[in-house]
Structure 1
Amino acid sequence: MEDASRHLGLMLALTFVTGLVDAGGYLGLDRVFVGNMTGNVVILGMGAAGADALPVFGPALALGTFIFGAGLAGLSMRSSPPGWSSRLTAVAVTSVLLVAATAVMLAISSTDPTVVIVAAAMTACAMGMQAAAARKVGVADVTTVVVTSTITVWATDMFARPHRTTIVNRRLAAIVAILLGALVGALLEQVALWLVFAVAAGIGAAVVGIGHASSRTRTG
Protein backbone atom coordinates (compact mmCIF):
# COMPACT_ATOMS: atom_id res chain seq x y z
CA MET A 1 0.00 0.00 0.00
CA GLU A 2 2.85 2.34 0.85
CA ASP A 3 4.55 1.56 -2.49
CA ALA A 4 1.29 2.23 -4.35
CA SER A 5 0.89 5.63 -2.70
CA ARG A 6 4.53 6.51 -3.36
CA HIS A 7 4.30 5.48 -7.01
CA LEU A 8 1.12 7.52 -7.41
CA GLY A 9 2.85 10.60 -6.01
CA LEU A 10 5.86 10.09 -8.27
CA MET A 11 3.71 9.68 -11.39
CA LEU A 12 1.73 12.80 -10.52
CA ALA A 13 5.02 14.68 -10.23
CA LEU A 14 5.97 13.48 -13.72
CA THR A 15 2.54 14.54 -14.99
CA PHE A 16 3.32 18.01 -13.65
CA VAL A 17 6.63 17.82 -15.56
CA THR A 18 4.71 17.09 -18.77
CA GLY A 19 2.65 20.23 -18.26
CA LEU A 20 5.86 22.20 -17.71
CA VAL A 21 7.67 21.05 -20.84
CA ASP A 22 4.56 21.22 -23.03
CA ALA A 23 4.13 24.86 -22.04
CA GLY A 24 7.79 25.47 -22.84
CA GLY A 25 7.52 23.60 -26.13
CA TYR A 26 4.37 25.30 -27.35
CA LEU A 27 5.31 28.82 -26.24
CA GLY A 28 9.05 28.73 -26.86
CA LEU A 29 9.78 25.97 -29.38
CA ASP A 30 7.65 27.02 -32.34
CA ARG A 31 4.30 25.68 -31.12
CA VAL A 32 5.47 22.09 -30.65
CA PHE A 33 4.02 19.82 -27.98
CA VAL A 34 6.86 17.73 -26.60
CA GLY A 35 4.75 15.55 -24.28
CA ASN A 36 1.19 15.55 -25.56
CA MET A 37 1.40 13.83 -28.93
CA THR A 38 -2.33 14.25 -29.61
CA GLY A 39 -1.70 17.98 -29.89
CA ASN A 40 1.16 17.39 -32.31
CA VAL A 41 -0.90 15.13 -34.54
CA VAL A 42 -3.65 17.78 -34.74
CA ILE A 43 -1.16 20.61 -35.41
CA LEU A 44 0.60 18.45 -37.99
CA GLY A 45 -2.65 17.83 -39.84
CA MET A 46 -3.66 21.49 -39.82
CA GLY A 47 -0.12 22.60 -40.68
CA ALA A 48 -0.04 20.24 -43.66
CA ALA A 49 -3.19 21.99 -44.92
CA GLY A 50 -1.43 25.35 -44.59
CA ALA A 51 -3.76 26.59 -41.84
CA ASP A 52 -2.63 29.69 -39.96
CA ALA A 53 1.02 29.15 -40.90
CA LEU A 54 1.23 26.26 -38.42
CA PRO A 55 4.52 24.32 -38.31
CA VAL A 56 4.86 20.89 -39.90
CA PHE A 57 8.48 19.85 -39.45
CA GLY A 58 8.65 20.51 -35.71
CA PRO A 59 5.55 18.50 -34.71
CA ALA A 60 6.51 15.68 -37.11
CA LEU A 61 10.02 15.49 -35.65
CA ALA A 62 8.70 15.59 -32.07
CA LEU A 63 6.22 12.82 -32.86
CA GLY A 64 8.96 10.68 -34.41
CA THR A 65 11.41 11.16 -31.55
CA PHE A 66 8.69 10.51 -28.95
CA ILE A 67 7.92 7.19 -30.67
CA PHE A 68 11.64 6.38 -30.82
CA GLY A 69 12.13 7.18 -27.12
CA ALA A 70 9.09 5.19 -26.02
CA GLY A 71 10.03 2.24 -28.22
CA LEU A 72 13.66 2.17 -27.10
CA ALA A 73 12.66 2.44 -23.44
CA GLY A 74 10.05 -0.29 -23.80
CA LEU A 75 12.60 -2.56 -25.44
CA SER A 76 15.18 -2.01 -22.70
CA MET A 77 12.61 -2.74 -19.95
CA ARG A 78 10.94 -5.65 -21.72
CA SER A 79 12.29 -8.37 -19.42
CA SER A 80 12.21 -6.33 -16.22
CA PRO A 81 9.44 -6.95 -13.66
CA PRO A 82 6.49 -4.56 -13.25
CA GLY A 83 7.10 -1.65 -10.91
CA TRP A 84 10.31 0.24 -10.30
CA SER A 85 13.48 -1.63 -11.30
CA SER A 86 17.12 -0.89 -12.07
CA ARG A 87 16.36 -0.85 -15.80
CA LEU A 88 13.53 1.60 -15.24
CA THR A 89 15.93 3.78 -13.27
CA ALA A 90 18.36 3.76 -16.22
CA VAL A 91 15.57 4.79 -18.60
CA ALA A 92 14.38 7.54 -16.25
CA VAL A 93 17.91 8.87 -15.75
CA THR A 94 18.38 9.05 -19.53
CA SER A 95 15.11 10.96 -19.83
CA VAL A 96 16.18 13.46 -17.16
CA LEU A 97 19.58 13.95 -18.79
CA LEU A 98 17.94 14.74 -22.14
CA VAL A 99 15.72 17.39 -20.54
CA ALA A 100 18.71 18.81 -18.64
CA ALA A 101 20.72 18.96 -21.87
CA THR A 102 17.82 20.83 -23.46
CA ALA A 103 17.93 23.40 -20.65
CA VAL A 104 21.68 23.90 -21.19
CA MET A 105 21.27 24.29 -24.96
CA LEU A 106 18.50 26.85 -24.55
CA ALA A 107 20.49 28.75 -21.93
CA ILE A 108 23.26 29.15 -24.51
CA SER A 109 20.91 30.11 -27.33
CA SER A 110 17.11 30.00 -27.40
CA THR A 111 16.71 31.84 -30.71
CA ASP A 112 18.83 29.70 -33.04
CA PRO A 113 16.35 27.70 -35.20
CA THR A 114 18.59 24.62 -35.13
CA VAL A 115 18.79 24.70 -31.33
CA VAL A 116 15.00 25.07 -31.13
CA ILE A 117 14.43 22.03 -33.34
CA VAL A 118 17.02 19.88 -31.54
CA ALA A 119 15.64 20.94 -28.15
CA ALA A 120 12.11 19.92 -29.15
CA ALA A 121 13.33 16.58 -30.49
CA MET A 122 15.40 15.79 -27.40
CA THR A 123 12.59 16.64 -25.00
CA ALA A 124 10.01 14.68 -26.99
CA CYS A 125 12.34 11.66 -26.91
CA ALA A 126 12.67 12.12 -23.15
CA MET A 127 8.90 12.30 -22.73
CA GLY A 128 8.49 9.11 -24.76
CA MET A 129 10.89 7.40 -22.37
CA GLN A 130 9.00 8.86 -19.40
CA ALA A 131 5.68 7.55 -20.75
CA ALA A 132 7.15 4.06 -21.23
CA ALA A 133 8.57 4.12 -17.71
CA ALA A 134 5.20 5.24 -16.28
CA ARG A 135 3.50 2.38 -18.11
CA LYS A 136 5.94 -0.05 -16.50
CA VAL A 137 5.30 1.39 -13.03
CA GLY A 138 1.64 0.80 -13.78
CA VAL A 139 -0.27 3.40 -11.78
CA ALA A 140 -3.85 3.21 -13.07
CA ASP A 141 -5.23 6.38 -14.70
CA VAL A 142 -1.88 8.22 -14.52
CA THR A 143 0.08 7.87 -17.76
CA THR A 144 1.97 11.18 -17.13
CA VAL A 145 1.47 12.36 -20.74
CA VAL A 146 -2.20 11.84 -21.65
CA VAL A 147 -5.21 13.28 -19.83
CA THR A 148 -8.01 13.05 -22.43
CA SER A 149 -8.80 9.43 -21.54
CA THR A 150 -8.42 10.28 -17.86
CA ILE A 151 -10.92 13.14 -18.18
CA THR A 152 -13.33 10.81 -20.02
CA VAL A 153 -13.28 8.15 -17.31
CA TRP A 154 -13.45 10.76 -14.54
CA ALA A 155 -16.47 12.50 -16.10
CA THR A 156 -18.24 9.20 -16.86
CA ASP A 157 -17.88 7.92 -13.30
CA MET A 158 -18.73 11.29 -11.78
CA PHE A 159 -22.02 11.57 -13.68
CA ALA A 160 -22.94 7.91 -13.29
CA ARG A 161 -22.18 7.70 -9.56
CA PRO A 162 -21.93 11.21 -8.07
CA HIS A 163 -19.89 10.80 -4.89
CA ARG A 164 -16.81 12.30 -3.28
CA THR A 165 -14.70 9.29 -4.31
CA THR A 166 -15.72 9.58 -7.98
CA ILE A 167 -14.97 13.30 -8.02
CA VAL A 168 -11.90 13.73 -5.83
CA ASN A 169 -9.51 10.97 -6.87
CA ARG A 170 -6.27 10.23 -8.72
CA ARG A 171 -7.87 11.06 -12.07
CA LEU A 172 -8.70 14.57 -10.94
CA ALA A 173 -5.22 14.81 -9.40
CA ALA A 174 -3.62 13.93 -12.77
CA ILE A 175 -5.74 16.55 -14.57
CA VAL A 176 -4.86 19.21 -12.00
CA ALA A 177 -1.16 18.22 -12.07
CA ILE A 178 -0.77 18.75 -15.82
CA LEU A 179 -2.82 21.97 -15.62
CA LEU A 180 -0.61 23.37 -12.85
CA GLY A 181 2.49 22.24 -14.71
CA ALA A 182 1.39 24.18 -17.79
CA LEU A 183 0.60 27.21 -15.64
CA VAL A 184 4.01 27.18 -13.95
CA GLY A 185 5.72 26.48 -17.29
CA ALA A 186 4.06 29.48 -18.91
CA LEU A 187 5.11 31.72 -16.01
CA LEU A 188 8.70 30.42 -16.10
CA GLU A 189 8.85 30.88 -19.89
CA GLN A 190 8.23 34.58 -19.37
CA VAL A 191 11.39 34.68 -17.24
CA ALA A 192 13.62 32.40 -19.36
CA LEU A 193 12.81 29.45 -21.61
CA TRP A 194 15.73 27.37 -20.34
CA LEU A 195 14.37 27.68 -16.81
CA VAL A 196 11.27 25.69 -17.77
CA PHE A 197 13.37 22.68 -18.74
CA ALA A 198 15.82 23.10 -15.87
CA VAL A 199 12.96 22.92 -13.34
CA ALA A 200 11.48 19.94 -15.21
CA ALA A 201 14.85 18.14 -15.08
CA GLY A 202 15.19 18.92 -11.38
CA ILE A 203 11.77 17.47 -10.56
CA GLY A 204 12.50 14.47 -12.76
CA ALA A 205 15.80 13.86 -10.97
CA ALA A 206 14.03 13.97 -7.59
CA VAL A 207 11.45 11.44 -8.82
CA VAL A 208 14.18 9.09 -10.05
CA GLY A 209 16.09 9.37 -6.78
CA ILE A 210 13.05 8.62 -4.64
CA GLY A 211 11.83 5.81 -6.90
CA HIS A 212 15.21 4.12 -7.09
CA ALA A 213 15.85 4.44 -3.34
CA SER A 214 12.45 2.97 -2.49
CA SER A 215 12.97 0.04 -4.87
CA ARG A 216 16.36 -0.74 -3.32
CA THR A 217 14.87 -0.57 0.19
CA ARG A 218 12.09 -2.97 -0.83
CA THR A 219 14.43 -5.50 -2.45
CA GLY A 220 16.93 -5.12 0.39
Structure 2
Amino acid sequence: MKRLNAVPTERVHLWLMLALTFSTGVVDAVGYLGLDQVFTGNMTGNVVLLGMAFAGGTGLPVLRPVLALIFFMLGAALAGRMLRKGPQGWSSRTSVALIVVAAVITALAVFSLLADVQGNEVLGGITTSSLATAMGVQAATAKRLAVAEITTVVVTSTITGLASDSRLAGGNSRFWLRRALAIALIMLGAVAGAAALKVGLWLGLSISAAISIAVATAGYVRHHRERSADEVTAG
Protein backbone atom coordinates (compact mmCIF):
# COMPACT_ATOMS: atom_id res chain seq x y z
CA MET A 1 0.00 0.00 0.00
CA LYS A 2 2.86 2.39 0.81
CA ARG A 3 4.35 1.73 -2.61
CA LEU A 4 1.00 2.57 -4.22
CA ASN A 5 0.80 5.79 -2.22
CA ALA A 6 4.25 6.71 -3.52
CA VAL A 7 3.03 6.62 -7.12
CA PRO A 8 2.54 10.20 -8.41
CA THR A 9 -1.07 11.31 -8.65
CA GLU A 10 -0.70 12.04 -12.36
CA ARG A 11 0.37 8.44 -12.95
CA VAL A 12 -2.58 7.10 -10.97
CA HIS A 13 -4.97 9.23 -13.01
CA LEU A 14 -3.36 7.91 -16.20
CA TRP A 15 -3.91 4.32 -15.15
CA LEU A 16 -7.52 5.00 -14.24
CA MET A 17 -8.27 6.72 -17.55
CA LEU A 18 -6.63 3.87 -19.46
CA ALA A 19 -8.92 1.47 -17.60
CA LEU A 20 -11.92 3.52 -18.72
CA THR A 21 -10.58 3.43 -22.28
CA PHE A 22 -10.73 -0.37 -22.16
CA SER A 23 -14.25 -0.09 -20.76
CA THR A 24 -15.28 2.11 -23.69
CA GLY A 25 -14.06 -0.54 -26.10
CA VAL A 26 -16.30 -3.06 -24.36
CA VAL A 27 -19.30 -0.74 -24.43
CA ASP A 28 -18.91 0.22 -28.08
CA ALA A 29 -18.55 -3.40 -29.17
CA VAL A 30 -21.66 -4.32 -27.21
CA GLY A 31 -23.55 -1.36 -28.65
CA TYR A 32 -22.56 -1.89 -32.26
CA LEU A 33 -23.03 -5.65 -32.32
CA GLY A 34 -25.90 -5.94 -29.85
CA LEU A 35 -27.87 -2.69 -30.14
CA ASP A 36 -28.43 -2.26 -33.87
CA GLN A 37 -25.09 -0.84 -35.05
CA VAL A 38 -24.82 2.11 -32.70
CA PHE A 39 -21.80 3.52 -30.88
CA THR A 40 -22.48 4.84 -27.40
CA GLY A 41 -18.96 6.10 -26.76
CA ASN A 42 -17.44 6.89 -30.17
CA MET A 43 -19.65 9.64 -31.58
CA THR A 44 -17.57 9.95 -34.76
CA GLY A 45 -18.84 6.54 -35.78
CA ASN A 46 -22.46 7.62 -35.32
CA VAL A 47 -21.98 10.80 -37.35
CA VAL A 48 -20.51 8.76 -40.22
CA LEU A 49 -23.31 6.18 -40.01
CA LEU A 50 -25.94 8.91 -40.12
CA GLY A 51 -24.25 10.61 -43.06
CA MET A 52 -24.29 7.37 -45.05
CA ALA A 53 -27.89 6.66 -44.05
CA PHE A 54 -29.03 10.14 -45.09
CA ALA A 55 -27.33 9.61 -48.46
CA GLY A 56 -29.47 6.55 -49.06
CA GLY A 57 -27.27 3.80 -47.68
CA THR A 58 -29.31 0.66 -47.19
CA GLY A 59 -29.65 -1.23 -43.94
CA LEU A 60 -28.19 1.57 -41.83
CA PRO A 61 -29.80 2.63 -38.55
CA VAL A 62 -30.92 6.21 -37.98
CA LEU A 63 -32.95 6.43 -34.78
CA ARG A 64 -30.48 4.93 -32.34
CA PRO A 65 -27.41 6.80 -33.60
CA VAL A 66 -29.46 10.01 -33.28
CA LEU A 67 -30.48 9.04 -29.75
CA ALA A 68 -26.88 8.22 -28.88
CA LEU A 69 -25.66 11.60 -30.13
CA ILE A 70 -28.35 13.54 -28.28
CA PHE A 71 -27.97 11.72 -24.99
CA PHE A 72 -24.16 11.66 -25.13
CA MET A 73 -24.23 15.44 -25.46
CA LEU A 74 -26.76 15.65 -22.63
CA GLY A 75 -24.54 13.57 -20.34
CA ALA A 76 -21.47 15.61 -21.26
CA ALA A 77 -23.34 18.87 -20.68
CA LEU A 78 -24.65 17.84 -17.27
CA ALA A 79 -21.24 16.57 -16.16
CA GLY A 80 -19.52 19.66 -17.52
CA ARG A 81 -21.86 21.92 -15.60
CA MET A 82 -21.29 20.04 -12.36
CA LEU A 83 -17.52 19.69 -12.72
CA ARG A 84 -16.97 23.30 -13.78
CA LYS A 85 -17.89 24.43 -10.27
CA GLY A 86 -15.19 22.22 -8.74
CA PRO A 87 -11.39 22.43 -8.72
CA GLN A 88 -9.15 21.11 -11.47
CA GLY A 89 -7.96 17.54 -11.08
CA TRP A 90 -9.74 14.89 -9.04
CA SER A 91 -12.34 16.18 -6.61
CA SER A 92 -15.42 14.95 -4.83
CA ARG A 93 -17.40 16.01 -7.91
CA THR A 94 -15.22 13.78 -10.09
CA SER A 95 -15.98 10.84 -7.82
CA VAL A 96 -19.71 11.59 -7.98
CA ALA A 97 -19.63 11.78 -11.78
CA LEU A 98 -17.88 8.42 -12.14
CA ILE A 99 -20.13 6.83 -9.53
CA VAL A 100 -23.08 7.94 -11.66
CA VAL A 101 -21.47 6.31 -14.70
CA ALA A 102 -20.91 3.09 -12.76
CA ALA A 103 -24.46 3.13 -11.37
CA VAL A 104 -26.07 3.65 -14.79
CA ILE A 105 -24.06 0.88 -16.46
CA THR A 106 -24.71 -1.47 -13.53
CA ALA A 107 -28.44 -0.79 -13.76
CA LEU A 108 -28.34 -1.44 -17.51
CA ALA A 109 -26.49 -4.72 -16.97
CA VAL A 110 -29.26 -5.89 -14.64
CA PHE A 111 -31.95 -4.49 -16.95
CA SER A 112 -30.53 -6.31 -19.98
CA LEU A 113 -30.39 -9.55 -18.00
CA LEU A 114 -34.05 -9.31 -17.01
CA ALA A 115 -35.52 -7.82 -20.19
CA ASP A 116 -35.14 -8.52 -23.91
CA VAL A 117 -33.52 -5.20 -24.83
CA GLN A 118 -32.18 -6.60 -28.11
CA GLY A 119 -35.53 -7.85 -29.33
CA ASN A 120 -37.66 -4.91 -28.21
CA GLU A 121 -37.23 -1.64 -30.11
CA VAL A 122 -38.35 0.60 -27.24
CA LEU A 123 -36.21 -1.14 -24.62
CA GLY A 124 -33.26 -1.11 -26.99
CA GLY A 125 -33.68 2.63 -27.49
CA ILE A 126 -33.83 3.22 -23.74
CA THR A 127 -30.67 1.16 -23.24
CA THR A 128 -28.86 3.01 -26.01
CA SER A 129 -29.88 6.43 -24.67
CA SER A 130 -28.93 5.60 -21.09
CA LEU A 131 -25.59 4.11 -22.06
CA ALA A 132 -24.74 7.10 -24.26
CA THR A 133 -25.59 9.44 -21.40
CA ALA A 134 -23.18 7.56 -19.13
CA MET A 135 -20.45 7.72 -21.77
CA GLY A 136 -21.01 11.45 -22.16
CA VAL A 137 -20.53 11.90 -18.43
CA GLN A 138 -17.37 9.78 -18.57
CA ALA A 139 -15.93 11.75 -21.50
CA ALA A 140 -16.59 15.11 -19.82
CA THR A 141 -15.03 13.84 -16.60
CA ALA A 142 -11.92 12.64 -18.42
CA LYS A 143 -11.68 16.01 -20.16
CA ARG A 144 -11.82 17.77 -16.80
CA LEU A 145 -9.05 15.56 -15.41
CA ALA A 146 -6.99 16.52 -18.46
CA VAL A 147 -4.75 13.45 -18.59
CA ALA A 148 -2.64 14.20 -21.66
CA GLU A 149 -3.61 12.25 -24.79
CA ILE A 150 -6.30 10.15 -23.03
CA THR A 151 -9.95 10.98 -23.74
CA THR A 152 -11.24 7.45 -22.86
CA VAL A 153 -13.80 7.50 -25.72
CA VAL A 154 -11.88 8.05 -28.97
CA VAL A 155 -8.40 7.25 -30.27
CA THR A 156 -8.30 9.01 -33.66
CA SER A 157 -6.43 11.98 -32.21
CA THR A 158 -4.29 9.54 -30.23
CA ILE A 159 -3.28 7.67 -33.38
CA THR A 160 -2.57 11.00 -35.10
CA GLY A 161 -0.35 12.10 -32.24
CA LEU A 162 1.46 8.78 -32.13
CA ALA A 163 2.33 9.04 -35.82
CA SER A 164 2.95 12.78 -36.16
CA ASP A 165 5.16 12.95 -33.06
CA SER A 166 7.08 9.78 -33.87
CA ARG A 167 10.79 9.76 -34.65
CA LEU A 168 9.88 8.83 -38.21
CA ALA A 169 8.10 12.20 -38.43
CA GLY A 170 11.02 13.99 -36.81
CA GLY A 171 9.35 14.23 -33.41
CA ASN A 172 10.50 13.20 -29.95
CA SER A 173 7.90 10.43 -29.51
CA ARG A 174 6.60 12.06 -26.32
CA PHE A 175 3.66 10.19 -24.80
CA TRP A 176 4.17 7.30 -27.23
CA LEU A 177 3.65 4.66 -24.56
CA ARG A 178 0.36 5.98 -23.22
CA ARG A 179 -0.88 6.57 -26.76
CA ALA A 180 -0.01 3.02 -27.77
CA LEU A 181 -1.63 1.68 -24.61
CA ALA A 182 -4.83 3.64 -25.24
CA ILE A 183 -5.08 2.29 -28.78
CA ALA A 184 -4.36 -1.28 -27.66
CA LEU A 185 -6.75 -1.12 -24.71
CA ILE A 186 -9.74 0.18 -26.65
CA MET A 187 -9.13 -2.60 -29.19
CA LEU A 188 -8.80 -5.25 -26.47
CA GLY A 189 -11.95 -3.87 -24.87
CA ALA A 190 -13.77 -4.35 -28.17
CA VAL A 191 -12.50 -7.93 -28.33
CA ALA A 192 -13.75 -8.55 -24.79
CA GLY A 193 -17.10 -6.92 -25.54
CA ALA A 194 -17.65 -8.96 -28.69
CA ALA A 195 -16.72 -12.16 -26.87
CA ALA A 196 -18.98 -11.32 -23.93
CA LEU A 197 -21.90 -10.71 -26.28
CA LYS A 198 -21.82 -14.41 -27.16
CA VAL A 199 -23.03 -15.00 -23.62
CA GLY A 200 -25.29 -11.99 -23.42
CA LEU A 201 -25.48 -8.21 -23.53
CA TRP A 202 -25.54 -8.17 -19.76
CA LEU A 203 -22.05 -9.68 -19.49
CA GLY A 204 -20.35 -6.97 -21.52
CA LEU A 205 -22.17 -4.29 -19.56
CA SER A 206 -21.21 -6.02 -16.31
CA ILE A 207 -17.53 -5.92 -17.28
CA SER A 208 -17.78 -2.22 -18.05
CA ALA A 209 -19.70 -1.58 -14.83
CA ALA A 210 -17.08 -3.41 -12.75
CA ILE A 211 -14.30 -1.33 -14.30
CA SER A 212 -16.21 1.91 -13.72
CA ILE A 213 -16.83 0.98 -10.09
CA ALA A 214 -13.15 0.13 -9.58
CA VAL A 215 -12.01 3.41 -11.16
CA ALA A 216 -14.46 5.52 -9.16
CA THR A 217 -13.46 3.77 -5.94
CA ALA A 218 -9.70 3.97 -6.56
CA GLY A 219 -9.92 7.62 -7.53
CA TYR A 220 -12.00 8.50 -4.49
CA VAL A 221 -9.67 6.67 -2.09
CA ARG A 222 -6.60 8.36 -3.57
CA HIS A 223 -8.23 11.80 -3.44
CA HIS A 224 -9.43 11.26 0.15
CA ARG A 225 -5.95 10.22 1.32
CA GLU A 226 -4.33 13.19 -0.36
CA ARG A 227 -6.83 15.58 1.16
CA SER A 228 -6.34 14.03 4.61
CA ALA A 229 -2.56 14.33 4.25
CA ASP A 230 -2.89 17.98 3.22
CA GLU A 231 -5.08 18.70 6.24
CA VAL A 232 -2.54 17.07 8.57
CA THR A 233 0.27 19.08 6.99
CA ALA A 234 -1.70 22.31 7.23
CA GLY A 235 -2.59 21.57 10.85
Shorter-chain TM band: over 0.9
Structure 2: how far apart are the matches of 1:75 and 1:99? 21
Which residue does the alignment assign to 1:126? 134
Structure 2: how far apart are the matches of 1:114 and 1:209? 33
The answer to whether 1:105 aligns with 2:111 is yes
Structure 1: how far apart are the matches of 2:176 and 2:144? 25
State the TM-score, normalized to the length of structure 2.
0.90
Which residue does the alignment assign to 2:169? 160
For the 8 Å contact 1:105–1:115, the answer to whether it is kept is: no
Which residue does the alignment assign to 1:74? 80
Gaps of at least 5 residues in structure 1 are none
1:7–1:62 Cα change, 3 Å: same
Q: CA RMSD in A?
A: 1.4
Q: After the TM superposition, which of the residue ranges 83-92 and 62-71 deviates more from structure 2?
A: 83-92
The answer to whether 1:19 aligns with 2:15 is no
For the 8 Å contact 2:197–2:204, the answer to whether it is kept is: yes
**Cα distance, 1:190 vs structure 2:** 1.1
1:169–1:161 Cα change, 3 Å: farther
**Cα distance, 1:65 vs structure 2:** 0.1
**Cα distance, 1:52 vs structure 2:** 2.3
Q: Structure 1 residue aligned with 2:56, among 50, 53, 57? A: 50
Return the index of the structure with the highest Cα Rg: 2
Which residue does the alignment assign to 2:227? 219
Structure 2: how far apart are the matches of 1:88 and 1:46? 37
Identity %: 46
* Equivalent residues in 2 for 1:67-216, closer than 5 Å: 67-108=73-114, 109-110=116-117, 111-158=119-166, 159-161=168-170, 168-216=176-224
**Cα distance, 1:136 vs structure 2:** 1.2
Structure 2: how far apart are the matches of 1:79 and 1:162? 37
State the TM-score, normalized to the length of structure 1.
0.96
Aligned length: 219
Gaps of at least 5 residues in structure 2 are 1-6, 229-235
